[in-house]
Amino acid sequence: MKQEKTLKGSIAGVLLLAMIPLTGAFEAPPQKPQRVFTTDLDHFWTAYDSIRTTKDSLKQVRFFNRIYLSKGSPGLKAFQEVKGNSVGLWVSSIRRYPRFWNSIRPRTQLTKAAAQEIEASLAKLKTLYPALRPSKVYFTMGNMRSSGITKDSLVVIGAEMATGSPQTDVTRLPKNTAAFLSRYYKKGWSDDLVPVNVHEYVHTQLSGYGKSVLGQALNEGTCDFVTELVTGKAVPFPYLPYGKLHEAALKERFKLEMFIPVYLNWSADQAPDDFTHVADLNYYMGYAICKAYYAQALNKTQAVRDMLTLDYTNDRAVQEFLEKSKYYPEEPIRQLREAFNQKQPDPTRVRPFVAENGTIDATTTQLTVDFPQPVSPYASVRRGPRGEATWPTVGALRFSGDNKSVIVPVQLQPAHDYEFIVAEGGSRSLEDYPLKSYLLKFSTK
């Protein structure tokens, strides 16, 4: 009886255990978040094959809408919104340029392997910077409209642009398109899909683009440096090897020009008639400063966080970042800023001459502000600190023939105080240094 009772107890225990939910024991491990998507490409080629089975244009439009556009990823929808690619243009392109599409098709499969590498790099970035905001990369097809866009938290890549090669058949495309793609494909972007797209992903994490050459340089330089850190690969752009070879000269020039609001000689794309010009050298300078900042930092993780959270639109913040980097170890930022200020043209006088008591005749119809050197003929005026109450009626500004004076038409009232700020709005010296703002204050008799 005792043995029977023990056996019954054991059976009961087994049955009881069997009734306990075992969900936790057999749960699949949580999936890693997917950040890179290529499904648009599969849908596109399915739609392409369907379109090629018929000459009925209405059927072709239906195929493309149903198979590609209606199933489109958020990335494709963003691309369509920004670039405005109509279904009619798409179908026309597929019908007219089959040689191009057939030759690019196997190349677009390169994105599959690249997507896995990009995922691995972004996972490494997440480990390095746990506050990484959710963003996604989409490889899609853009009908040769753009190599890619960034919109909000999305990076969208035009795969037919990014994966082409010199062997891609562009012979039947329109002349200008064929010439552009031939030049573009020679750059070999398809060999560097991983660093190029990680660079763009890092952009989605940054705050503001920068209001000065320095701010813009640090924004782009952060993307380049962080990309190299997590992928082990440098970005494939010409400014990087050029910058390393010419860094000493660039460094001297940069310190005199980095406070300029916008300077195309640092950031513009290559001019078509100047094949010796290397574009985007400010990217290299930003990369070099970020690299110096990282090298001197005792806490490397914090250094990366400092780059990714920097407010690039805040002049004081970017200047403090530069100083901490010790990129110019012998020259404090105050000294560099003062050297820049000395380069800015300052108005030398105002005509008619404002008397010592600050008065001019109310019948005056124009004021002329003189500068010590010729300036670019762009300027504006805006209200002074006291606002509307002291704002005169101002007409269209015009410059003298030698560009050393700006003439300000005015309508004045007697016995009135006036003030306004002149010399803003893009006017610069011929060396591209912005003019200093000039607060003009006077009263009328």
Please give the model's pTM, rounded to 2 decimal places. Answer: 0.75
Q: What is the mean pLDDT of residues 102-127?
A: 96
The mean per-residue pLDDT over the stretch 63-89 comes to: 94
* pLDDT tens, residue by residue, 5-24: 443 444 444 434 444 444 44
What pLDDT band is residue 30 in, cutting at 50, 70 and 90?
low
pLDDT tens digits along 276-302? 668 889 999 999 999 999 999 999 999
pLDDT band at 73 (very low <50, low <70, confident <90, very high): very high
**Burial label, 77 (beta-carbon count in 10 A; 0-12, 13-18, 19+):** middle
pLDDT over 70 at 148, yes or no: yes
Residue 331 CA to residue 371 CA, distance in Å, equals 30
Q: Residue 217 has what pLDDT?
A: 95
The string of pLDDT tens digits covering residues 188-204 is: 888 899 999 999 999 99
Across residues 45-57, what is the average pLDDT?
A: 96
Under 8 Å between Cβ of 345 and 435: yes
Predicted local distance difference test score (pLDDT) of residue 425: 53
264 pLDDT exceeds 50? Answer: yes
Rounded to the nearest 5 percent, the helix, strand and coil shares of the chain are 50, 15, 35
Average pLDDT of the chain is: 86
pLDDT at 354: 60
Q: 191: number of CA atoms within 13 Å, CB side?
A: 11
Distance (Å) of CA 222 to CA 14, 198, 203, 402, 428: 61, 12, 9, 42, 29
Q: Which of 227-231, 273-277, 356-360 has the highest mean pLDDT?
A: 227-231
Binned at pLDDT 50, 70 and 90, residue 401 comes out as: confident
Assign 392 a pLDDT band (cuts: 50, 70, 90).
confident
CA distance 178 to 159: 17
**What confidence category does residue 106 fall into, taking pLDDT thresholds of 50, 70 and 90?**
very high
Give DSSP secondary structure letters for 59-127.
HHHHHIIIIIITT--HHHHHHHHHH---HHHHHHHHHH-HHHHHHHHHHHTHHHHHHHHHHHHHHHHHH
| pLDDT of 359 | 85
User: How much is the pLDDT for 375?
Assistant: 79
pLDDT of residue 6: 41
Q: Is the pLDDT of residue 101 over 50?
A: yes
Look at residue 312 and tell me whether its pLDDT is greater than 90: yes
DSSP character at residue 331: S
